[in-house]
Structure 1
Amino acid sequence: MSQTGSLMGFVHRRRRGAELFLLVLALMVGIGAYAAVGLGVEGVVPADLVGYGGWLTALIVAAHVTVRLVAPYADPVLLPLVAALNGLGLAVLRRLDLTYEAKGFDQHTFARQQLTWMTLGVLLFIGALFLLRDHRSLQRFTYTSGLAGIVLLLLPFLPVIGTPINGANIWIRVAGFSFQPGEVAKVLLVVAFSGYLVLHRDALALAGRRVVFVDLPRGRDLGPILAMFGVSMMILVAQNDLGSSLLFFGLFLVMLYVATERPGWLVVGAVLFAAGAFAAYTFVGNVQNRFNFWLRPMDYYDASPGSGQLVEAMFGMGWGGLIGRGFGNGLPERVPFAYSDFIVSTIGEELGLTAVMAIILCYGLIVERALRIALISRDGFGKLLAVGLGAIFALQVFVVIGGVTGLIPLTGLTTPFLSYGGSSLVANWVVVALLLRVSDQARRPAPRLEPVDDSSADSESTQVVKLR
């Protein structure tokens, strides 16, 4: 290979045709599931199938065309995975709407509202790709993003707009709409963590005292992780939100370890997590209840607060078995929050363990593609940004599905792209846009190089490499 060829290295293909083919399969999943809901619950194909399918197709095609125009080298698998999960989530919400209407419950339009939020999310996805042409420009807003993220976390404490819901102080209400600012804060904090760790990772990577074959960090470098631990405990105590507390602390710990490659930070993080968990169990009643429900769910079935929804969810998934009861043949309405925190149990009951495993596989592929993007990224900020955005999905899915299945104590997070919730859905579409932007920058061919003769050379002709 010539010198020029070796300098250019491997060139990624655009693979937009492969993305389009996968998007067709994703639309078949979403629209097919919507039709199956109508057949299973009402015995007929939904009357609005054409309108619903056309609108869903228009949104996905718009997202695909945008990627083709402004991020042609982006990863071809991320968008189809997200489209399939979002489409399946809409179908499951429609199934719950029909059941609530048939049994005389309060009128719900979860599917229609979720489709509206998906429309807004896709519009922001398109806007982010058009406006952000280079992810490295976000590094200039490292401290601004951090400050904005903290301000968003504090908004639910304001007396006018702060709105406690189900005992958690994580919501604000503006102009009649409820919004969870922590969903936006997680994206801003990933940008802030990435910029901060790029600048200070050399100092944070220095080893201190060696204990049992592990180099612990120096005491003077413990400030950032202690500060993040304090923020997480504040969220847990003040907002009564165990899920967000675990998410933010785990996110910072993962990014810190990736930036420094020091296992000592994991040791410090594990010690802080254990101490925080013990303190929360001792002094925070909500956390103690979650642990008791997890360890002895049947003992608290009729208590208030109790473990009734957790027990009903586990019985429902057990009833569903391997292939499920089928849409309309289960009883997911017995779980109070089947449309949000427990949507995985609804899927497990009516579509079975097979569908749950397929969903987990889709999330695993999203995280895998994010880590692949980080590996091939040419700049440190892009690497950490991709790792952080992938860690958001990994931690959130582990905490949610682990809680619903009884693997860990139950928390209060939503399942990305599946659960009902506008804040989460919109924020996650922006996260995917950022991943695609980093991917496009990483997979785009490097500037072409060619050797040219330097006419001003002395006796011997000298070749220099010039960017064209």
Structure 2
Amino acid sequence: MKNWGLLTAPLGIVLCGLSVLYLKMNPGGSKLTADVLQGPLAYIPWLAGVILLALFIQAVIIRRHEDTFLFPIVMTLASVGIVEIARLKPSLLVRQLQWLCVAMFVMILVLRFWSRIRRMLSYPYLLGIVCVFLLGLPLVFGTEIGGSKNWLVLGPVSVQPSEFGKILLVFFLASYLSDHRRVLTLPSRRFLLLRLPPIRFIAPLICIWGMAVLMFVVEKDLGSALLFFGMAVLMTYMATGSKSYAFLALAFIGIAAAASYAAFGHVRVRFDIWLDPWQDPNGMAYQIVQSLFAFGTGGIWGTGFGFGHPGFIPEVHTDFIFAAIAEEMGLIATMMLIVCYVLFFWRGIKAALACRSEKEALMAAGCSSLLLLQAFIIIAGVTKFLPLTGITLPFISYGGSSLVSSFILLGLLVSLSKEQEHG
């Protein structure tokens, strides 16, 4: 009963949140009415589908003796996202529920075919080539949306290749670093104060760093660049324990950032806005300024669900959904979301420590670290701790590519966990 009881909190969040929005009819807030959703039956079947899929997935996890906490944590985050999207963009609620159903179905496929998926770890160089190819597609066929040229438009569907490239990146790094760990931890050369192996062994890592810089400069995708670069550094350090790689990476990105700032105007704009958004509060810095106002207005307890004005922030349902939560539900709610991400990371690391295979341990640590790092980057962006990025808040923000890729990572992590080994 304990394992099934974990799912009651997400279900309660959805039902209570949608009920509040349905009953709230004042002109100042978004209304979950028949005019917007073409009647309640437009979203109820999809909501029922999400609930049934969630019960089925949890049953499979319990039967296979895998970690029974990871999926409920994620469904709590996804439930908050569903309610917030119903509040901010009611017309997108059905679409988000549909994407959530698709993402959960894909997770079922990952759980079912995990024994075949894990064989990909035996082909690190092929994984690296496919990852680079996937990230390079927007350079040739990409469409600029929201200021970043990192989208592929396939008819009515828009896809971010970087969302799926990060999964291949985790596979590649787990496989490559595990195969070459001895060489990488027994360096034969010294460069200044750094101890490094021959260049041919760190060339793949430098290639990944270079791709991150290319994404930043050419595709104007700072969020994905930071995510890919951060994952390469984190997983390299987890595999080798060498501080030399961290210093080399920081030096590399520092030189690349300085060169990009000097050579490209849009890079200068991004950094100047980060340093002083008040120089153009009604222009290029409008989003971040409104986000800061939202955090200030919300305070500790928030203005009350449905009683704020998050609509002042452009694209609030994607990049800035965390600011909307902060305004209406306050510091308490945002801290609870951060705790959920930290708990997810903690369970993932426990699963990694229980893995017998080094490749699988690195992969589990990489999956959990990736989602936590992504959450940190976007939260830091909307609070002006880091330059503003264009990535989504995992499991909460609106977006099909983000949901599907995040649930793939969840499926991989659940498959790598065994409850009886680390419960």
| TM-score with structure 2 setting the length | 0.91
Q: Tell me the equivalent position of 1:152.
A: 134
- Secondary structure class of the residue paired with 2:150: coil
Equivalent AA in structure 2 for residue 128 of structure 1: V
- Secondary structure class of the residue paired with 2:244: helix
Q: Tell me the equivalent position of 1:365.
A: 343
Shifted more, 123-132 versus 167-176: the winner is: 167-176
User: Which residue of 256, 259, 267 maps to 1:279?
Assistant: 259
Q: Tell me the equivalent position of 1:453.
A: none
- Secondary structure class of the residue paired with 2:7: helix
**How far off is 1:167 after superposition?**
2.5
- Return closer, same or farther for 1:319/1:133 CA change in 2, 3 Å cut-off: same
CA distance in 1, matches of 2:21, 2:204: 49
Equivalent AA in structure 1 for residue 48 of structure 2: G
CA distance in 1, matches of 2:266, 2:194: 36
Output one character per residue of 1:427-449: Cα deviation in whole Å (capped at 9) or x when no partner.
1001000000011398399xxxx
Equivalent residues of 2:184, 2:240 under 8 A apart: yes
**How far off is 1:219 after superposition?**
4.9
Residue segments in structure 2 that go unaligned for 5+ positions in a row: 34-38
Equivalent AA in structure 2 for residue 236 of structure 1: F
Q: Tell me the equivalent position of 2:122.
A: 140
**Equivalent residue runs for 1:174-323 within 5 Å:** 174-208=154-188, 216-220=195-199, 221-303=201-283, 306-323=284-301
CA distance in 1, matches of 2:15, 2:125: 43
Are residue 79 (structure 1) and residue 63 (structure 2) matched? no
Equivalent residues of 2:152, 2:161 under 8 A apart: yes
- Return closer, same or farther for 1:64/1:279 CA change in 2, 3 Å cut-off: same
User: Which residue of 16, 30, 55 maps to 2:14?
Assistant: 30
Q: Tell me the equivalent position of 2:103.
A: 121
Equivalent residues of 2:47, 2:97 under 8 A apart: no
- Return closer, same or farther for 1:270/1:117 CA change in 2, 3 Å cut-off: same
Q: Tell me the equivalent position of 1:130.
A: 112
CA distance in 1, matches of 2:175, 2:124: 5
User: Which residue of 384, 391, 402 maps to 1:413?
Assistant: 391
CA distance in 1, matches of 2:297, 2:25: 18
Equivalent AA in structure 2 for residue 206 of structure 1: L
**How far off is 1:145 after superposition?**
2.4
Equivalent AA in structure 2 for residue 82 of structure 1: V
Are residue 66 (structure 1) and residue 74 (structure 2) matched? no
CA distance in 2, matches of 1:45, 1:300: 35
**How far off is 1:372 after superposition?**
1.2
Equivalent AA in structure 2 for residue 217 of structure 1: L
**How far off is 1:142 after superposition?**
2.6
Q: Tell me the equivalent position of 1:439.
A: 417
Equivalent residues of 2:143, 2:149 under 8 A apart: yes
**How far off is 1:192 after superposition?**
1.3
**How far off is 1:338 after superposition?**
0.5
CA distance in 2, matches of 1:420, 1:21: 27
Identity %: 32
Equivalent residue pairs, number: 412
**Equivalent residue runs for 1:46-65 within 5 Å:** 48=40, 51=45, 53-65=47-59
Are residue 168 (structure 1) and residue 160 (structure 2) matched? no
Equivalent residues of 1:134, 1:441 under 8 A apart: no
Equivalent residues of 1:124, 1:426 under 8 A apart: yes
Equivalent residues of 1:241, 1:412 under 8 A apart: yes
- Secondary structure class of the residue paired with 1:207: coil
Are residue 330 (structure 1) and residue 314 (structure 2) matched? no
CA distance in 2, matches of 1:21, 1:316: 34
Shifted more, 40-49 versus 414-423: the winner is: 40-49
Shifted more, 419-428 versus 294-303: the winner is: 294-303
Shifted more, 36-45 versus 281-290: the winner is: 36-45
**How far off is 1:50 after superposition?**
5.9
Equivalent AA in structure 2 for residue 369 of structure 1: R
Equivalent residues of 2:297, 2:327 under 8 A apart: yes
CA distance in 2, matches of 1:120, 1:232: 29
**How far off is 1:240 after superposition?**
1.3
Output one character per residue of 1:147-182: Cα deviation in whole Å (capped at 9) or x when no partner.
2222211222334xx322123111111132111111
Output one character per residue of 1:231-287: Cα deviation in whole Å (capped at 9) or x when no partner.
111211221111111111111111111111111111111111222222222223222
Equivalent residues of 1:40, 1:326 under 8 A apart: no
Report which of the two structures shows the higher radius of gyration computed on alpha carbons. Answer: 1
Equivalent AA in structure 2 for residue 39 of structure 1: L
User: Which residue of 380, 384, 393 maps to 1:402?
Assistant: 380
Are residue 354 (structure 1) and residue 336 (structure 2) matched? no
CA distance in 2, matches of 1:172, 1:52: 26
Equivalent AA in structure 1 for residue 344 of structure 2: I
Output one character per residue of 1:37-68: Cα deviation in whole Å (capped at 9) or x when no partner.
33345599977386565333212112212323
Shifted more, 123-132 versus 294-303: the winner is: 294-303
Equivalent residues of 1:40, 1:329 under 8 A apart: no
CA distance in 1, matches of 2:421, 2:414: 10
Q: Tell me the equivalent position of 1:460.
A: none
How big is the alpha-carbon RMSD for the aligned residues of Structure 1 and Structure 2? Answer: 2.4
Output one character per residue of 1:398-431: Cα deviation in whole Å (capped at 9) or x when no partner.
1100010111111111100111110010010010
Equivalent residues of 1:207, 1:215 under 8 A apart: no
Equivalent residues of 1:134, 1:437 under 8 A apart: no
**How far off is 1:225 after superposition?**
2.6
CA distance in 2, matches of 1:316, 1:426: 29
Output one character per residue of 1:322-355: Cα deviation in whole Å (capped at 9) or x when no partner.
1111122111110001000000000001111111
Q: Tell me the equivalent position of 2:36.
A: none
CA distance in 1, matches of 2:373, 2:326: 20
Equivalent residues of 1:373, 1:438 under 8 A apart: yes
Shifted more, 235-244 versus 217-226: the winner is: 217-226
